[in-house]
Structure 1
Amino acid sequence: MSKKKQTLYETYGKRSVDIIGSAAALIAFSPILVATAVMVRRKHGKPILFTHERPGKDGKIFKVYKFRTMTDARDAEGKLLPDGDRLTDFGKQLRRTSLDELPELFNVLKGDMSLVGPRPLEVYFLPYYTEEENHRHDVKPGLTGLAQISGRNALSWEQKFQYDLDYIRHITFLGDLKILLDTVKTVLGRKDVVEEGGAVLVDFNEERARKWQEEGRSQSHEVH
């Protein structure tokens, strides 16, 4: 897959939709944002927001904003406890309902992200993409995307990336609108969410490294 030429919508319309849509959503969801922030402060302490580096368009690193879902609980030596021990019941609920991702609307307003696009993944995944999969960084990452309405975390990594690439090949206003509307339906219906105690989602880098080992390939042959 070669880097495709942008359409008029991608060049001029998509950013306008992002600004108007994210600003309107921040106003509409402001009571939920405030209420969630208060609860996060009570349950998890300060800071309310969690920031983490993610690769954006053309691989440029930016900081994504989310509500904290874990505490800063530490052991006797002052080291942070494992993630599973710090994730609270309230934090699990935030993740199930996707409320923890609402602050990403600020990323959209800033221009780091788009309302619709491939979801931004961990920076340490970068060396494990194939050349074709790396094209998911040809566009801005999204608050939601085609993969999220097509199976969410019930999909395999390869399926997620294929949906991302399919989206990049056919970006349209009506397509983005449909994805946004379907996202609302998916989140409200909690469709295709893997619950705690269900299927284990393996980190992409671990899964890809295991497959390469089974196929007798080395990581150095796949880094792009």
Structure 2
Amino acid sequence: MKRIFDLLLAGLAALLLCVPACLLALLVRLTSRGPALYWSDRVGRHNRIFRMPKFRSMRLGTPAVATHLLTDAQAFLTPVGSFLRRSSLDELPQLWSILVGDMSLVGPRPALYNQHDLIALRTERGVHQLLPGLTGWAQVNGRDELPIPRKVELDVEYLQRQSLWLDIRILWLTLVKVVRREGVTH
């Protein structure tokens, strides 16, 4: 049921957002050197590495680490990078990852391949069994502001309580948080 829900909603969103996504890709290309998309190695279900697309918000050559680990993250942003991140529009290409089955609409956010502490905690607690999500229970309960142990606790809560209704609630809360720009660090 969850996969059908993901396919229907992600497919509809991809159709409706096709033109705006093309315009965003053009905007990224016109304002900075390099491709419109950044393909990031992420940890998926059962700790399998997959390539996840995002609109590129950072300059070419930015270290592949979590943004909060950069000394001066603002210095690495492209001219439109801050806008893309604040509005969460950099995440739109992840609809592709949902359609091909690497991600779900709702689940724990996929860790970077080098976030060993997060990966280890999730594996220890069984969260690695879930498909990563475009959004998740941790994102609507603190997003970028949460320390890793708290994120994992919220991921475990989601693992234990997951249902279609909880997914719908998380999607609604995500929309509210994105519109209000709550919990975004850059």
Question: How high is the TM-score relative to the length of structure 2?
Answer: 0.87
Q: How does 1:1-224 map to 2 (within 5 A)?
A: 13-72=1-60, 84-126=74-116, 129-130=120-121, 133-195=124-186
- 1:72-122 deviation digits (Å, cap 9, x = unpaired): 379xxxxxxx86533124101111111111100000000000000000011
Segments of structure 1 that go 5 or more residues without pairing to the other structure are: 1-12, 75-81, 196-224
The structure with the larger Rg is 1
User: Which amino acid is the alignment partner of residue 97 of structure 2?
Assistant: N
Distance 1:43 1:174, change over 3 A: same
Task: Please say if residues 44 and 70 of structure 1, whose CA atoms lie closer than 8 Å, have aligned partners that are also in contact.
Answer: no
Structure 1 residues 21-52: Cα deviation after superposition (integer angstroms, max 9, x where no partner)? 11001111122201101100101233111001
Preserved CA contact (<8 Å) 2:121 2:152: no
| Paired amino acid for 2:6 | D
Structure 1 residue 139 displacement after superposition: 0.7
CA 1:188–1:83 in 2, change beyond 3 Å: closer, same or farther?
A: closer
Amino acid at match of 1:102: L
Query: 1:7-26 deviations in whole A, cap 9, x for unaligned?
Result: xxxxxx01111111110011
TM-score (norm 1): 0.73
Distance in 2 (CA, whole Å) between partners of 1:169 and 1:36 is: 37
Q: Deviations over 1:153-200 (max 9, x none)?
A: 1222111111111001111011101101111011001112235xxxxx
Tell me, yes or no, if the aligned pair for 2:122 and 2:128 is still in contact at 8 Å: no
**Farther-moved stretch of structure 1 (94-103 vs 45-54):** 45-54
One-letter amino acid of the counterpart of residue 173, structure 1: L
Identity of aligned residues (%): 36
Does the Cα contact within 8 Å between 1:133 and 1:165 map onto a contact in 2? no
> Structure 2 counterpart of 1:122, which letter?
L
Q: Describe the shift of the 1:132–1:59 C-alpha distance in structure 2 as closer, same or farther (beyond 3 A).
A: closer
Q: CA RMSD in A?
A: 2.0
Counterparts in 2 of 1:83 and 1:154: CA distance versus 1, 3 Å: closer
Deviates more, 1:87-96 or 1:119-128: 119-128
Letter in 2 for 1:179: I
- Residue 131 of structure 1 deviates from its aligned partner by 6.7
- SS of equivalent to 1:149: helix
Structure 2 unaligned residues grouped into runs of 5+: 63-71
